[in-house]
Amino acid sequence: MVEVKFHDIGEGMNEGEIINFFVKVGDTVSVDQPLVEMQTDKMVAEIPSPTTGKVKAIHHDIGTTVTIGTAILEIDDGKEESINSKREVSAALSAPEKQNIPKQKERKSPPKRIIAAPHTRRIARENDVDIEKVQGSGPAGRVLDDDIFRFIREQQEDMIQPEENITSSQARTSTESDTIPFTGIRKQIAQKMTQSLMTIPHVTHFDEADLTNLLEIRSELKEAGENISVVAFFLKAIAITLKEFPVFNAQLDEENDVIRLHKNYHIGLATNTNNGLLVPVLRDVDKKTIREIHDEMKALTEKAQAGKLTAQDMRGGTFTISNVGPLGSTAATPIINYPQTSIIAFHKTKKTPVVLENDEIAVRSIMNMSLSFDHRVTDGANAVQFTNRFNQLMERPYHLLLELV
């Protein structure tokens, strides 16, 4: 008998919610066949079968949250058939009346296969909807978001009126407020942000960068058929700056009283998705060309939006950026992605009159940015020098040519 357990599928992930079973008791499965779909704080992941055999038991229902190491189901691989198990089979044959009840319960535990996207399942869970009761209108009976909303409306129409003994105060409370489930990724984000703020003394340094020359170069590249995101230039410049100021690419090890300066430059990309804030990691930014950075960043962002990030995509970040400018942000105090030591946010770029060195006034493209850092490992002067160096690379983007690989 082989137990299939919920194993560690990502850094810092210690629990997950069962959102779908692909098998039921009695099914024959093969090696690497998907068995169960799990929603962790970062992603939706499938747990494959470690062996060939028959599903013997399913221990948990859909919607159950389990921790790392919990056995989810059992597979009979036919290799361990003890004398006791044979006796149990004989006893079952001789006393069918006593065995009928547990067998019926066992058959009922695995739910039927429902075709639905993770986002649709999340909507159902958050609204306490049993997705098995929803009639799907999509291809092959697939349950769509609209099917969930339609089911909710129908349930609300069929609801009976509240009992007369409910006080007017209680009635007003129930009608004057709505609730949003504080679960899943939203809850995990809250826990991690609280841990960061409770652990790290945050200081945020605000600055601005002149992107006029960079945007002109990007425009020329676009006319030549090279549509490169401006963030790809930011990432290259950040990698260069981190090499010169390694304390911002570090981790404080309080147990051993050392600050560990990372030699890898794995930059996390804070990404807003329908499931919450996710931070995929672009690895070895210092070793990549700007075109490679652009292509890999685009691929990671698309995976995040589609809910297809893997544990490896989320692991090992040494620094984080947040590009909120396209949303119209002017300023913020970003929270450090613990246990990193800093994070930078890029805000809105707008045309601004600027006094040049020769006292002439010119209209320039100015971007605001905010750098939060761990005041235990560095000070404000270093933060100013850090953004000064980044600004220099933005104002004279041809200096990036010296770092191409």
Active-site positions read 375
Report yes or no: 405 and 288 within 8 Å, Cβ to Cβ: yes
How many helices (H) and strands (E) would you count in the chain?
Answer: 11, 18
DSSP labels, 277-332: EE--EE--GGGS-HHHHHHHHHHHHHHHHHT---HHHHS--SEEEEE-GGGT----
Give the integer Cα–Cα distance in Å for 294 and 387. Answer: 22
3-class SS of residue 142: coil
**189, amino acid identity:** I
Q: For residues 111-123, b (16+ Cβ closer than 10 Å) or e, as one string?
A: beebebbbebbbb
342-355 vs 319-323, strand pairing mode = parallel
Where on the phi/psi map is residue 381: left (φ > 0), alpha (ψ -120 to 50), or beta?
A: alpha
Give the integer Cα–Cα distance in Å for 77 and 136. Answer: 35
Burial of 276 (0-12, 13-18, 19+ CB in 10 A): middle
Report yes or no: 390 and 206 within 8 Å, Cβ to Cβ: no
Q: What are phi and psi of 180, to 5 degrees?
A: -120, 125
| 168 half-sphere exposure, CB direction, 13 A CA radius | 0
Q: What angle do CA 207, 209, 210 make, to 5 degrees?
A: 150
**125, amino acid identity:** R
Give the integer Cα–Cα distance in Å for 361 and 345. Answer: 28
Q: What are phi and psi of 392, to 5 degrees?
A: -60, -40
